[in-house]
Amino acid sequence: MTRYDYDLFVIGGGSGGVRAGRVAAGLGKRVAVAEEYRFGGTCVIRGCVPKKLFVYASQFPEHFADAAGYGWSVPEASFDWPTLIAAKDREIGRLSGLYEQGVEKAGGTAFHSRATLVDAHTVRIEAENRTVTADQILIATGGRPNPHAALPGHEHCIFSNEVFDLPELPKSIVIAGGGYIAVEFANIFHGLGVETTLVYRGKEILGRFDMDLRRMLHADMEKKGIRILCHTIFEDIQKNDDGRLAAIVTGGEVLVADQVMLAIGRIPNTEELGLEAAGVKMGPKGDIVVDGLSRTNVPNIWAIGDVTDRVQLTPVAIHEAMCFVETAFKGNPVEPDLECIATAVFSQPEIGTIGLSEDEASKRFGELEIYRAEFRPMRNILAGRDEKMLTKLVVDAETRLVLGAHILGPDAGEMAQLLGIALKSGLTKDDFDRTMAVHPTAAEELVTMYKPSYLVRDGERVGPA
Ligand code: NDP
């Protein structure tokens, strides 16, 4: 008999926590996972999954419009928000059930309760008002939207939590932020017929991405009818007598809309978790500080996913979970590899990207070759849609290593996944060149851009090669 009730207690039943609990239980460890809200966490319940369903819903008007070019006549379409919400709820209910069952089928115990630390080996299961002990504890409590408490009137705003369950579709919305969530939801709402304004404090939306993608997406979104205000911030949000909201932005313009959404980053869920009682160190943003192996300063307490504020992406949390299990239970210490992560923004058109942007690469490498193709995807031609696609490779001229691959256009996220393997494997432009194209596809451009469009030498563009 060991001294503890469990070999592993996981606090947080999201993507990272459930994966760690399930895999550790599969190794024969005695595991419990506690979740205070719904198993599945942000990604499944109020993040990636319902967001992607909303993206699909919002794309239909363009599909209906494009159909005419192919000979179809589509009767006037109408949209019912409650039907979408109910369908989405059924799907996330199904997935949440699978997450919970995954823990239990592997032999673990799922608690529907908030769990807090009493000390380094003791956890309080709040719903049952009792404590249990565990040899190892994993904190995977994720994060939540930054409430922007300093903004007067922030209490009138909605966040990515509420947006999935609005009782009715607003007629107009103003969204603050220029990151993943703000950009994705601006496109979703616009696609669903909502008058949409995006307000971003910086020079150009999507700060961490390649400038070509940012500019082209911005132009495409404006062309569709989304109003984008850069260099602009909210100063006050007021509620009018008619229930609508007035967002006062820099310069004094008043943007009146049914809803105002804030999407200005996420903060770690570490309050009242008992971290102080257990002696776990936190960083300046309330994040849990971990070493390369996801271990906190308390040797038997670990943390993974958004609560550590490393890279806030579901697949990263899952990867960290797998590395944690290797390290803590298989005697095989593995550090999560957070370099060169492929990612997608489900904007319309979509972004798929991996590796260094041209600007980042030009700071680190003396000479770059930039391969760039801008073209109308075949599907758009008969549709009469003039939206263009962009494929771009950033290559180190000296080693021919492909440093970055950036795509804007249909299925860009799917392409980024496969490019991820190529860049992660350190393939060169010559490897791309000798790869046969799949024809006719848009992705074939990635292996048929034989001549550089231009060079970048010591940070300066030096014209066509
Ligand atoms: P992001 O970090 O992507 O973007 C935050 C945005 O808010 C930035 O444009 C930032 O501006 C702006 N901002 C920050 N603080 C303020 C402020 N005080 N006033 C005005 N603007 C501000 O966060 P999101 O909330 O969009 O998303 C959270 C995380 O969720 C992301 O980091 C991402 O990792 C993940 N996610 C991933 C998705 C995917 O993989 N497709 C989809 C959705 C979310 P600036 O650029 O100037 O800093």
Amino acid at 75: P
Report if residue 37 sits inside a domain.
yes
Question: 173: which 2 tokens?
Answer: 């919305």
What band does 323 get if pLDDT is binned at 50, 70 and 90?
very high
Mean pLDDT of 187-199: 98
Query: pLDDT tens digits, residue range 261-296?
Result: 999 999 999 999 999 999 999 999 999 999 999 999
Query: pLDDT tens digits, residue range 234-259?
Result: 999 999 999 999 999 999 999 999 99
Catalytic-labelled residue, pool 156, 231, 319, 439: 439
pLDDT tops 90 at residue 339: yes
Report if residue 458 sits inside a domain.
no
The whole-angstrom separation of Cα 108 and Cα 391 is 46
- Total structural domains in the chain? 3
Residue nearest to atom 13 of ligand 1 (CA): 264
- Angle at CA of residue 80, ends 78 and 83, nearest 5°: 140
Residues near 430 by beta carbon (within 8 Å), at least 6 away in sequence: 400
Q: Indicate whether 47 and 140 sit together in one domain.
A: yes
pLDDT of residue 465: 65
pLDDT of residue 82: 98
Q: Indicate whether 58 and 162 sit together in one domain.
A: no
pLDDT of residue 406: 98
Q: Indicate whether 14 and 140 sit together in one domain.
A: yes
| DSSP letter, residue 284 | T
Report if residue 61 sits inside a domain.
yes
The whole-angstrom separation of Cα 443 and Cα 437 is 8
Angle, in degrees to the nearest 10, between helices 180-191 and 211-224: 30
Which ligand 1 atom is at minimum distance from the Cα of 344? 41
Q: Are 9 and 134 in contact (CB under 8 A)?
A: yes
Q: Indicate whether 174 and 83 sit together in one domain.
A: no
The whole-angstrom separation of Cα 143 and Cα 104 is 25
- How far does residue 180's CA lie from ligand 1's centre (Å)? 6
Query: pLDDT tens digits, residue range 138-188?
Result: 999 999 999 999 999 999 999 999 999 999 999 999 999 999 999 999 999
What's the pTM?
0.97
Query: pLDDT tens digits, residue range 95-104?
Result: 999 999 999 9
| Average pLDDT taken over every residue of the chain | 97
Q: Indicate whether 272 and 136 sit together in one domain.
A: yes
State which H helix or E strand residue 355 sits in: strand 351-355
pLDDT of residue 2: 74
Question: Does the annotation count 406 as an active-site position?
Answer: no
- How far does residue 179's CA lie from ligand 1's centre (Å)? 4
Other C-beta atoms closer than 10 Å to the C-beta of 363 total: 9
What CATH number is given to the structural domain containing 356?
3.30.390.30
Tracing tokens 């489900």 back to the chain, one arrives at 346
Question: 252: which 2 tokens?
Answer: 């004094």
Report if residue 456 sits inside a domain.
no
| DSSP letter, residue 168 | S
Which ligand 1 atom is at minimum distance from the Cα of 148? 18
Q: Indicate whether 276 and 189 sit together in one domain.
A: no
Q: Are 180 and 267 in contact (CB under 8 A)?
A: no
Amino acid at 191: G
The whole-angstrom separation of Cα 165 and Cα 283 is 33
Query: pLDDT tens digits, residue range 378-426?
Result: 999 999 999 999 999 999 999 999 999 999 999 999 999 999 999 999 9
pLDDT of residue 204: 98
Which ligand 1 atom is at minimum distance from the Cα of 48? 42
Query: Considering 305, 329, 353, which residue would you say is the last residue of a domain?
Result: 329
Query: Considering 278, 298, 329, which residue would you say is the last residue of a domain?
Result: 329
Residue nearest to atom 38 of ligand 1 (CA): 180
What band does 464 get if pLDDT is binned at 50, 70 and 90?
confident
Residues in a beta bridge with 246: 238, 256
Which ligand 1 atom is at minimum distance from the Cα of 47? 43
pLDDT tops 90 at residue 463: no
Amino acid at 257: A
The whole-angstrom separation of Cα 409 and Cα 237 is 35
Residues with beta carbon inside 6 Å of ligand 1?
Answer: 148, 176-182, 184, 200-202, 207, 233, 263-266, 312-313, 343-346
- How far does residue 312's CA lie from ligand 1's centre (Å)? 10
Q: 201: domain range?
A: 154-264
DSSP-based three-state secondary structure for 185: helix
Q: Indicate whether 100 and 169 sit together in one domain.
A: no
Residues near 196 by beta carbon (within 8 Å), at least 6 away in sequence: 172, 173, 174, 175, 186, 189, 190, 225, 226, 227
Report if residue 190 sits inside a domain.
yes
The whole-angstrom separation of Cα 207 and Cα 338 is 19
Q: Indicate whether 435 and 352 sit together in one domain.
A: yes
Query: Considering 217, 240, 264, which residue would you say is the last residue of a domain?
Result: 264
Q: Indicate whether 317 and 428 sit together in one domain.
A: no
Q: Indicate whether 281 and 323 sit together in one domain.
A: yes
Report if residue 370 sits inside a domain.
yes
The whole-angstrom separation of Cα 374 and Cα 295 is 45
Q: Indicate whether 302 and 394 sit together in one domain.
A: no
Q: Are 257 and 173 in contact (CB under 8 A)?
A: yes
Q: Are 419 and 411 in contact (CB under 8 A)?
A: no
Report if residue 337 sits inside a domain.
no
User: Which of 183, 137, 142, 107 is closest to 350 using CA atoms?
Assistant: 183
The whole-angstrom separation of Cα 100 and Cα 106 is 10
Q: Indicate whether 111 and 124 sit together in one domain.
A: yes
What CATH number is given to the structural domain containing 195?
3.50.50.60
Report if residue 464 sits inside a domain.
no
pLDDT of residue 203: 97
